[in-house]
Structure 1
């Protein structure tokens, strides 16, 4: 199995968490998004959307993180990340889609580059844009979490797809200067997750293509 990834990609981070939780070994294949390697034809032949992650498992090649997560949950069902209970499954997917549909798409690298290079916004304006969508999305996530009993993870005592998606988004938001402490439930879950071995293993700082600290 191969995972085409970039250390700071939040969508690739989602998949790395799931692989670590399930104990699935894989070959890490770095794709430098900042250098534009995702636009090379050889990569586009593998993934027409021109992004990471891409998972290759034998003859199977998938290029969208949620599709990959669903595949992994079917292929390696323990521990299960999408609950079998229909109501809990819907609650998990509700939170996942706030992140995957409402926050991430308007803040990913291609959007940021368009804002800067095509529309000519300043760096500060770009940062304001980013924080606006994160804050709006996190307001919703915080409300969804408030409906649940306090627990280590988003939905109880075991990680789910929701944690796989929330943690990378929080990591990216904190890196961009967002005030995570303004969202106490999100902050508590994030801190708990990032103290667990699978999340530590999947963290951007632990990846082979992460910049070396000096």
Structure 2
């Protein structure tokens, strides 16, 4: 990953969007979906989390927290997937990611919160490394699965009266953008039986029919080559 200051990065891109991403990061996955839905072209900058590139000084200059994703839009540098998606929603109004109905907006925000606060932080790389040092391999997976199931149970209850073709109706909104990567990871990485969650299972299958989702799947990212078994 080339070293660059924030100013140099902005000058180099000349207002072109750049996304610092890791193929398997569900947070990066969310942002890729949002960019695709809005039809925004971007440069993809891979950050290998397994090699610790997120801790390199040049990366920490862009994001002192040391996480992906980061979006660079000219002189603007935004990190945290929710902040990035809200920025995209405010600046690029095509294909709105939130409904106009205030109640539906609240349902979307609640779904986003469950995924981003209750589930994902407890299954990210740093957390799993910490857990792995303190429990056996046989105990780690059931612990992660219990976290996911708790969140999925809450999501099933939240969405039961609001789903249409998608999470909160017949249009793709922010809840779907956060749900799709989480459902993909749950089924592929953490062996969750999606039949336990009929609403989420149906949504999970529906998302694979959307080109904007298909193109952003982890296995379709340039840095996934040679890493799919890791």
Q: What TM bracket, shorter-length normalisation? A: over 0.9
Shift of 1:84: 2.4
Shift of 1:85: 2.0
1:202 to 216, 221, 227: 216
Task: Tell me the number of residue pairs that the alignment of Structure 1 and Structure 2 aligns.
Answer: 211
- 1:87 is matched with 103
2:130 paired with 1:114: yes
Q: Greater relative contact order: 1 or 2 (C-alpha under 8 angstroms, separation 6 or more)? A: 1
TM-score (structure 2 length as normaliser): 0.89
Unaligned runs of 5+ in 2: 1-16
1:38 to 29, 54, 62: 54
Distance 2:98 2:164 in 1: 17
2:216 paired with 1:176: no
> RMSD over aligned Cα, in angstroms?
1.3
| SS across alignment from 2:138 | helix
Shift of 1:193: 1.0
- 1:131 is matched with 145
Distance 2:36 2:166 in 1: 16
CA offset digits 1:19-48 (Å, max 9, x no partner): 010100000000001111111111111101
Unaligned runs of 5+ in 1: none
Q: Which runs of 4+ in 1 moved over 2 A?
A: 211-214
Distance 2:101 2:40 in 1: 25
- 2:161 is matched with 147
Shift of 1:59: 0.5
Q: Which stretch shifts more, 85-94 or 132-141?
A: 85-94
Distance 2:153 2:44 in 1: 34
